Every structure is written in C-alpha cells, then in structure tokens.
Copies of this chain bind each other. A is one copy, B any other.
Amino acid sequence: MSNNIPFTEVVAELPATTPFAGPEAIERETGRAFSARLGANESAFGLSPKALQAMQAAVETVNRYGDPENHDLRAALAEVHGVTMDEICIACGIDELLGFVIKMTVQPGTPVVTSLGAYPTFNYHVAGVGGRLEAVPYRDDHEDPEALLDKAAEVAAPLMFFANPDNPMGTWHPAERVQQVIDRVPDGRLLILDEAYVEFAPEPTGPPIDTSNPRVIRMRTFSKAHGMAGARIGYAIGHKRLIQGLNKIRLHFGVNRLAQIGALASLQDTGHIARVVGAVAEGRQAYCDLATRLGLAAVPSATNFVSIDVGQGNVAAGDRARALVRNLADRGVFVRMPGVPPLDRCIRVSVGTPEERRIFARVFERALATLAD
C-alpha cells in the first residue's frame, strides 16, 4: 500500500515555511539562552499588575471553557471604541484574525495586495489558501498605501493589507492620510488596517473608527502595549456584516479563558498602558542616540521597536545585516531584521528594559567591530 495523503492541491504544492523562527528555536540551535530578547516586539514592561492578579486568580478556573461569545470583553471594547458589540470580533491575536479574513475573502488564485517586506504571517495565510500575492515596494521606508490601492485596482484584488504603524520598519502615516486611503477603497474591496502598534504612535495616527464603512477592517491586539503576547488575544473592529462573516468561520471556543480575563483587566488599567507607552518612547530615543553614537541611522519609529540601518550604503547590505543578527544571537542577543531589500539593510530591535538596552548597546558595538574586521 502506498502512502498517499489526500492533501488539497493548494496544500500539496505549498512549501513548508514558517512566518518566523521563534527565539527558543534559535536558543536550541546556538545552545545558549538569550540574555536580551529583543526580536519579537514583546513588551519589556510586562502586563498590567491588575491583569497579572486577575489571571493568577483565574488559573484555578481554567477547567472551564472561556465564553465563546467573549461577551464581557467585547462589551468593554465597544465602550472604549464607541462602537457596538456586534462590530467587534475577538480571536487568538491578529495572526488568527488575518487568517479568518483571508479565509473569508480569498480562494485559490485570488489576487491579494500587500507591501514587499511587510508582515510575513499575512503572506503565510494568503499562501495557505492558494491566494496570489502582489507586493508593492516601500517608499522611503514607509508603506506606500496609494501604490497598494493602485496595484489592487490593476490586479482586481479584493483584499489589501496595510499596517499603520508599519512592521518591520516602524514608520507611520498620519491619520488624515490614512483616512484618505480608506476613502479611496472601492466598493466590493476590503482593506485590512493592522494597528497592532497604534498605541505607541503620536496622535493622531489612527483615524476615527467608522463602522458604517464595510471596506475597512481594523485590527488591534493585547500583545504589544498591553504586554500579553503569550496570552494570544486580539480583536477586529468593523462593519457588523464583516463581523457576521467572521462569526461564520471563527473558532468559537478558541480564546483562552485567562486571556479573556487578563485583557479585560488590562483594558481598565489605562495608567499602566500610559506608563508603558512612555517607557517605550524613552527606549526608542535611547536606541536613536546609540545609533548616532555609532555612526548609524535609526529609522524614526512609532512602535515599540526601532530599525537601525547597518548597511552603510553597502550593496550587500542584507548579507551584512544577516551576519550581524547571527553575531548578536551568538552573543546572547535576539533581534530580527526585515526579509527583503532595501529594508534588509536594517536590523529591528525591540525596546527593552534599561538593563536589556545596556546589554544590547554593549553587544551591538562589539558585533559591529567584529563585522568591520
């Protein structure tokens, strides 16, 4: 008997890729634990003490499923954002929500537009259903949303992905321009506006939320400013018909009960979020100062990370950055970098605690010196 597995054609032909290697995998490979974990844009400043307490107290109830309607958290989020509960969908982070939106709108061969070098997990999900990715270049280290719109029109893409602020570069567009982009999305098309980092951005970066418009769906997360990446919880805000669509296909019992409880507590702890945003701004400045001191340029960032240009105009800038990322890993510092030129002349460093920043500064300087040899 042979060993045929009845994979769909899409899955059979799909290459085995993962969006990101986890830091643990790199630690296993190098045989050394990271002393500074600055590659995944996790919050160095922890979760809200109120969320911590609520989650610890709730562990003993984890024998119970969480509420599949996520009722209490949706109610709280609806109030925060001035929308109704049926305009919010909660899932295991933006990653899962991206998968749902793609499942809802993309089939084999459907063109989908993103930026060249933008969020790999979006691309991963599109490939997973057989969608055809079309990527437009960044312009001056910024996503180029007008080019996204033009490309979508050219290839008749129903779905577009736009992150503001952007990952991996950390750059952003002001709310007014984002609103103009939203206003240009044609009927029958959908723009995903990924705002995972919007809490760190200067006001106004996120335009007012208007759920009467079914052509945009906004994505938010508790992974970044709220410091709950490991809890896996995020949400989409959109027209109720979009949310109805998500409710037809989402994993109804998917969200961890402790994540629900922690997110609710964190949402109410606005003081903690304000302190985190302040600490992150301070850390970004420290990285900029460090880059300047080392004769490098830091890309201005509205996120909890900073991309530092280490290419120094070299044509093989990507190779140089890759060598540096590896060298840093060997020295116990985890950072990541953009995947494609010209962005890959940079390394991307998450804002760490002051102690982690000191470690990074010391190790980075040594690693640069090694590379210069």
Contacts and interface: CB of A to CB of B under 8 A. Distances in A.
Interface of A: 1-8, 10-11, 14-20, 22, 24-25, 28, 37, 40, 42-47, 52, 55-56, 59-69, 71, 92-93, 95-96, 99, 103-107, 121, 124, 128-129, 158-159, 187-190, 214, 223, 227-232, 239, 241-242, 244-245, 247-249, 251-259, 262
Contact of A68 (B18, B128, B228, B249): B18
Contacts of A2: 187
Given A8-B107, A55-B59, A245-B7, A28 B71 contact: yes
B244 A256 contact: no
Nearest to A232: B256
Number of copies: 2
Q: Which of A43, A241, A259 has the most CB of B within 10 A?
A: A259
Contacts of A229: 62-65
Given A254-B95, A259-B256, A62 B55 contact: yes
Contacts of A6: 105, 158-159, 188-190
B63 A252 contact: no
Nearest to A66: B230
Nearest to A24: B67
Q: Which of A17, A37, A47, A104 has the most CB of B within 10 A?
A: A104
Given A24-B69, A46-B60, A93-B254, 12 more contacts: A3-B214, A6-B159, A14-B249, A18-B247, A37-B64, A42-B63, A52-B59, A56-B59, A63-B229, A99-B251, A231-B256, A232-B253
